[in-house]
Structure 1
């Protein structure tokens, strides 16, 4: 995470204080000649990460106390921590005796630990402050100076936690700090390709999500094309395939050329920040209907579509299946809501996933005749700017109220593919008590959750034109992922919002 190369300056070989704080306030620092990547917490005997720590653990460099005692530390009020040039223990050779030492400890231990009262303290018996019953009437609350000292120590601990995290997903056993704060710290101070649009607002949303997760009220709504699927094509290094372009792989050369012309004509309108939403909806409607007519005219079959999926080279984003397992294991509902082709998404899951349980799919559904030939599409058509969760919820509500079975209703309006063993979302006909995590790659995907929910976190994959579109994405999404990132940061958020030890 922490690379000084981006500041165009050489990495020092010594002095870990420069790595942590950027400078050292002490002229006679005990770590001046220590390796640059030395773990100062280990040198103090306080590192809680063990073998998982990303910094150097070298017993040669142990904490050497300074000769003069810190008078502020003696009062429990020092705010300098490791940078303090005075000793944080009794000076050697000085007989403090019970009368001298006991008053300091008694005063410190009588003051309540602010983080313990919030359920966040990780120090246990080593904490310098008292851990009383929060409801006790005689609890001495921290003074303002002591609160500042505790806040500084807390920040240093969170930064150390963030530095020890790998670039992949959270590992539960390594999270010694509050997971919400660790997540915010990790992606606020590191150049990770992850942009937190409004960290304070996200912090509150994550805390709300944790409460909803305790009740099992978490649902995921995820786009497919260039969200679950990778944007960059592995072979050409250009724009990767979509479900529509895979279907076009079954076309003749003439029809494929026409489809390419449609893509070149309409895709720029999809991402044009100067167009209003009404204008975008108009152009997307035209694009889909013209593309669908090409498919019907091409006379392709289901078998041809399956062969096109195999030959497409489409790749799912890294760690998507880990994300799928996360939802399955915790019985959280997961819906793939796409403007793509439902039948092709189903074939991709069958060929790319190792698990038998696939997500439920709500997307454009093909009509086939008795010979497996495409003869049309079921209405209404879905594109990036009109797909809304309210339409799905209403369909589920209608099915719940209908005496006919779900299968019979699907014969009339085959929008939903509920594969065998799928992670269903049927409980979303009511959403007021749900926490929804919505993931997509277009500004339209940020508008998918148009129903009342208890909480919603929106994650956006910004795949192209990052400099031009980042501002608009930050307005719509709580978290923006750039650089064709996998589902690692999404898993990090899931652990922060939904995981409990």
Structure 2
């Protein structure tokens, strides 16, 4: 949830598709377009219960994994796409991440996208700092650089919780921390601290951009704070500053 929603939304959604081997594969392009047209409206539909959406999201991600398997991708290909698309971070994001690092506050970037691209975006922006961890769908390659799928179980928008965090280094690093601020733009993001027994207090901030009128009631029921069409880190920044200053 560190990227802006408008200026680069199309690039962010299609960055993997613009990697050279993917861009040149017409079958891949047709497949992912068809999958998105089918499943993305289901993800956003406020009238479909989350429990009913989960199976659809699992199908979408499993079929997407099959679609990318067999493509050849290098780290240079990923870096080139990041430079070409130039995804912009939210206003104030860089300073926020750096101050979190200076204050020794762990920051988890939990993404249902391609972890290799997420990590590259953070590196190019200069915010992949020692306190930042990425949990996402990282690619698995064979010896010649061909994608074999994802390394671990697939993370989709509705299972970003203890399912993916529990047996990671990050879980151990935050085991003595009772408080968390959760930022997300999907209803599933509100569950990111679910199953983390040590977390006693979670302030959940939701960013809402699409189908605002229909989705707002659910967001208000799910998040503690809902920010409509907000492209900044101003609110979480203000909360962090208040906590940091009070602790001095």
Larger Rg: 1
Separation (CA, whole Å) in 1 of partners of 2:128 and 2:64: 32
Distance in 1 (alpha carbons) for counterparts of 2:135 and 2:203: 20
State how 1:43-122 maps to structure 2 within 5 Å: none
Instruction: Determine whether 1:440 maps to 2:156.
Output: no
Q: Which has the higher contact order (CA 8 A, sep 6+)?
A: 2
CA distance in 1, matches of 2:2, 2:71: 28
How many residue pairs align between the two structures? 241
| Mapped partners of 1:391, 1:292: distance in 2 | 17
**Which of 312, 316, 320 pairs up with 2:93?**
320
Instruction: Please tell me whether residue 240 in structure 1 is matched to residue 10 in structure 2.
Output: yes
- Root-mean-square deviation (Å): 2.1
In the alignment, what sits opposite 1:389? Answer: 162
Deviation at 1:240, TM superposition (A): 3.3
Following TM superposition, by how much is the alpha carbon of 1:354 offset from its aligned partner in structure 2, in angstroms? Answer: 6.2
Written as runs of structure 1 = structure 2, the 5 A alignment for 1:243-392 is: 245-250=14-19, 251=22, 252=24, 254=26, 255-353=28-126, 357=130, 359-389=132-162, 391-392=164-165
CA contact (8 A) 1:460 1:480 kept: yes
2:2 to 208, 228, 234: 228
SS in 2 for 1:370: coil
TM-score normalized by the length of structure 1: 0.45
User: 2 CA distance for matches of 1:246 and 1:314?
Assistant: 9
| Residue 470, structure 1, aligned to residue 216, structure 2 | yes
Q: Is the 8 A contact 1:341 1:365 kept in 2?
A: yes
Shift of residue 483, structure 1, vs aligned partner: 1.6
Separation in 1 of the partners of 2:128 and 2:76?
A: 23
* Alpha-carbon distance, 1:253 to partner: 5.5
**Structure showing the higher helix proportion among its residues:** 2
1:345-368 per-residue CA deviation (whole Å, 9 max, x = no partner) reads 111112122675461111111112
Q: Deviations over 1:13-50 (max 9, x none)?
A: xxxxxxxxxxxxxxxxxxxxxxxxxxxxxxxxxxxxxx
TM-score, length basis structure 2: 0.88
* Cα distance between partner residues in 2 of 1:262 and 1:355: 31
Matches within 5 A, 1:445-464: 445-451=189-195, 452=197, 453-464=199-210
Contact 1:385 1:444 in 2 (8 A): yes
Name structure 2 gaps, 5 residues minimum: none
- Evaluate the alpha carbon distance shift between residue 329 and residue 301 of structure 1 in structure 2; reply closer, same or farther with a 3 A threshold: closer
- Contact preservation (8 Å) 1:249, 1:256: no
